[in-house]
Amino acid sequence: MGKRDADAAGAEGPVQFSVDRNSPVPLYFQLSQQLEAAIEDGRLAPGSLLGNEIELAGRLGLSRPTVRQAIQSLVDKGLLVRRRGIGTQVVHSQVKRPLELSSLYDDLEAAGQKPATRVLLNTTTAADAEVAAALGLAEGTEVALVERLRLTHGEPVAHLRNHLPVGLLKLETADLEETGLYRLMRAAGITLHSARQAVGARAASAEEAARLDEPEGAPLLTMERTTFDDTGRAVEFGSHVYRATRYAFEFQLLVRP
């Protein structure tokens, strides 16, 4: 037995899939990888229906459990969802963020995710011990505080909380809703040079779950970052929370010589 082909309805016509029975790669994994690639590159757009598992299995000459396993692996990744009365549907692909000095807004744009921002807070506050230490200020110093909800296609992806030195740049709510913080900093003549960052994970509180449209206790990714300009000055301390179903960090690891 050689290759077997099938298709699913994409945004611009049928999307072709094939499995090779002579390959050592499990059939379910071949199908899941092709489905994931079609979702990531936009051939299967958000809202696309994959059709009936029985029909897809028949077209590919696969067993229904094999097709179900392929689909379930993408449901677990948050790329597909099973809807009663509708079928299996594509949801928005997960954003994979490289660990480099870039903003979430830029990363979402690069992934074709159409970022939008809802400003929850734009004010000043007294720096607590953590914020003061990160920004190299005395505890109690007045700092700017910005809280935003970042969305793609109308769905929340992350809650962003940023502290900046007062007077660093003018932070207008309208500007923050229009573009990313790093773009505003660069436009103000600030040259971003490096950052110190920590990535973690924890369960969502009730408040976070409601804000990010996740069930309470759902896994969340966390990131804390202190960003420095080309003079070595700390210009921003960010404390961010991301939906693990929609977001991932990518690491490149090198062997020391």
State mean pLDDT over 113-122: 86
- Give me the DSSP letters along 145-183: EEEEEEEETTEEEEEEEEEEETTSS---HHHHHHS-HHH
Give the DSSP H/E element, type plus range, for residue 90: strand 87-90
Q: Cα–Cα distances in Å, from 111 out to 94, 141, 185, 210?
A: 9, 38, 22, 25
Residue predicted with more confidence, 254 or 183: 183
Q: Can you give the pLDDT at residue 4? A: 46
Three-class secondary structure of residue 104 per DSSP:
helix
Q: What is the dihedral of CA 114, 107, 123, 216, to 10 degrees?
A: 80
- Whether 243 has a pLDDT exceeding 50, the answer reads yes
Q: Identify the band that residue 103 occupies on the pLDDT scale cut at 50, 70 and 90.
A: low
User: What's the Cα-to-Cα distance from 191 to each of 3, 70, 187, 198, 200, rounded to whole Å?
Assistant: 53, 46, 9, 22, 27
Model-wide pTM > 0.85: no
Q: What is the pLDDT confidence band of residue 177, given thresholds at 50, 70 and 90?
A: very high
3-state secondary structure of 48: coil
pLDDT at position 108, please? 59
CA distance 10 to 178: 31
Predicted confidence (pLDDT) at residue 95 exceeds the cutoff of 70? no
Q: Is the pLDDT of residue 212 over 80?
A: yes
Average pLDDT rounded to a whole number, residues 21-29: 85
pLDDT for 256 equals: 62
The rounded mean pLDDT for the chain is 81
φ, ψ at 93 (rounded to 5°): -65, 155
| pLDDT bracket for residue 11 (50, 70, 90) | very low
Question: pLDDT for 143-155, tens place per residue?
Answer: 999 999 988 877 8
**Coil, strand or helix: which one is 35?**
helix
DSSP 199-214: EEEEEPPHHHHHHHT-
